[in-house]
């Protein structure tokens, strides 16, 4: 089958799939405290998600990342991972992974490993229990740390994703780095993105450019740029003194769009060709219109043909350009 190629000759091989908009946390930069979630009837069933993802794999997707909300709060989610694991078995899918807040890992880590998941991303912005409770609103740090330990015990490679927030976790740059080094976790820092309804001056005040964060690291350590890519937007360095790998995801200070190979599917079947654009394609309608996949494949190709060159996020001049009112939890992390 002809692979998925966008108008800028980029092969689309990476699909991020949100399986739910629900979460057991309410992280301040991701969703409001009193979220109105989608009616469950609007969500794709796990069988429909299987059919959609299998179609993408057939059309050339080689990496599948499961997101949310918090993917592990979706009822019956292991049956979906089991369905996707058959593509790992055939070699059609090279990697099946997920991004999680870690709250459910104590229960799910071993079953996920048994189904072929080899590495996971855990969102963790602070190691301070009080600050953790504040930023997540509902979260408990010991539960997450227990989940991370369970993931390690199950043989999963853990990467910590930390959103860089000025005035919140600036003072934890080196403690986070040290903790990851001791526990053999990779670490990636992410710039806070202008998404969601709360684009108050507080969000602008939280913006911590990663070039400044990297400069602080370079004052203390020797950083060597790595050519390595893991299929996503991160750029990596090696900290020579510790040997650990640190990534930077910089949608604002360094636009990574030129090599974008990914699209995002929401739990309602909306396909977003770019995280920072509102344009999307409804795949639920063709999915449900016919048991035959021809119309669905046609809709996917038409959507990829509209993938833009890049997004327009910008915090310059103390205003937000390219702002998305869509919550991160809607599109998937």
264 annotated ligand-binding residue: yes
Give the pLDDT of residue 201. Answer: 45
Residue 123 among known ligand-binding residues? yes
Q: How far, in Å, CA of 141 to CA of 132, rounded? A: 6
Lowest mean pLDDT among 21-25, 195-199, 261-265: 195-199
Q: Which residue has the higher pLDDT, 193 or 94?
A: 94
Q: Which residue has the higher pLDDT, 67 or 31?
A: 67
Q: Is 214 annotated as a binding residue?
A: no
pLDDT value at residue 125? 95
Domain chopping of the chain, boundaries: 14-158+257-331
Dist. CA 2–CA 34, nearest whole Å: 44
Residue 29 is assigned to a ligand binding site? yes
260 labelled as ligand-binding? yes
Name the maximum alpha-carbon separation found in the chain.
59
Question: Is 192 part of any known ligand binding site?
Answer: no
Q: Which pLDDT does position 328 carry in this prediction?
A: 53
Q: Is 199 annotated as a binding residue?
A: no
* E strand residue ranges, the chain: 14-18, 63-67, 95-100, 119-123, 157-164, 186-191, 223-225, 235-239, 245-249, 262-265, 270-272, 280-282
pLDDT digits (tens, 9 = 90+) for 255-282: 557 778 999 999 999 999 987 778 899 9
76 marked as part of a ligand binding site: no
Q: Can you tell me which residue has the tokens 């739990």?
A: 267
Q: Which residues contact 64 (CB under 8 A, 6 or more apart)?
A: 15, 17, 53, 56, 57, 84, 87, 93, 95, 96, 97
pLDDT above 70 (res 254): no
Which pLDDT score, from 0 to 100, does residue 320 have?
45
Higher pLDDT, 66 or 39: 66
Please, are residues 120 and 96 in contact by the beta-carbon 8 Å criterion?
no
Structure tokens at 15: 């699909």
Whether 302 has a pLDDT exceeding 80, the answer reads yes
65 labelled as ligand-binding? yes
At 230 the pLDDT is: 65
For the chain, helix (H) and strand (E) counts, in that order, are 11, 12
Condensed to tens digits (0 to 9), the pLDDT of residues 95-146 reads 999 999 999 999 999 999 999 999 999 999 999 999 999 999 888 999 999 9
Q: In the structure, what pLDDT confidence band is assigned to residue 206 with cuts at 50, 70 and 90? A: confident
Q: Does domain 14-158+257-331 have CATH number 3.20.20.70?
A: yes
* Residue 30 annotated as binding site: yes
Beta pairing partners, 225: 237
159 assigned to a ligand binding site:
yes
Distance CA 148, CA 157 (A): 10
Percent of the chain at pLDDT above 70? 87
Tell whether the model's pLDDT for residue 150 goes beyond 60.
Answer: yes
């Amino acid at each position: 089958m002809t692979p998925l190629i966008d108008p800028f000759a980029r092969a689309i091989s990476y699909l991020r799939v949100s399986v739910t908009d629900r979460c057991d946390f309410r992280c301040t930069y991701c969703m409001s405290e009193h979220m109105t979630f989608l009616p469950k009837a609007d969500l794709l069933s796990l069988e429909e998600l299987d059919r959609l993802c299998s179609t993408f794999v057939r059309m050339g997707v080689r990496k599948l990342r499961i997101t949310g909300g918090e993917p592990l709060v979706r009822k019956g989610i292991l049956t979906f991972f089991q369905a996707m694991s058959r593509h790992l078995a055939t070699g059609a899918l090279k990697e099946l992974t997920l991004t999680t807040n870690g709250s459910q890992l104590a229960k799910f880590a071993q079953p996920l490993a048994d189904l072929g998941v080899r590495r996971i991303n855990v969102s963790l912005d602070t190691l301070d229990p009080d600050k953790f409770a504040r930023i997540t609103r509902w979260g408990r740090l010991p539960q997450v740390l227990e989940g991370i330990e369970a993931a390690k015990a199950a043989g999963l490679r853990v990467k910590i994703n930390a959103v860089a927030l000025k005035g919140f976790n600036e003072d934890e740059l080196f403690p986070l780095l040290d903790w990851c080094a001791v526990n053999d976790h990779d670490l990636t820092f992410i710039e806070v993105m202008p998404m969601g309804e709360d684009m108050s001056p507080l969000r602008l005040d939280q913006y911590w450019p990663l070039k400044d964060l990297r400069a602080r690291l370079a004052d203390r350590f020797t950083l060597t740029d790595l050519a390595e890519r893991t299929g996503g937007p991160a750029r990596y360095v090696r900290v020579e003194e510790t040997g650990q790998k640190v990534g930077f995801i910089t949608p604002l200070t360094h636009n990574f769009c030129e090599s974008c190979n990914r699209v995002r599917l929401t739990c309602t079947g909306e396909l977003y060709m770019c995280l920072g654009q509102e344009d999307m394609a409804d795949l639920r309608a063709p999915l449900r219109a016919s048991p035959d996949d021809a119309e669905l494949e046609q809709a996917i190709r038409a959507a990829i043909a509209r993938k833009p060159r890049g997004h327009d996020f910008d915090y310059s001049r103390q205003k937000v350009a390219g702002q998305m009112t869509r919550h991160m939890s809607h599109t998937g992390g």
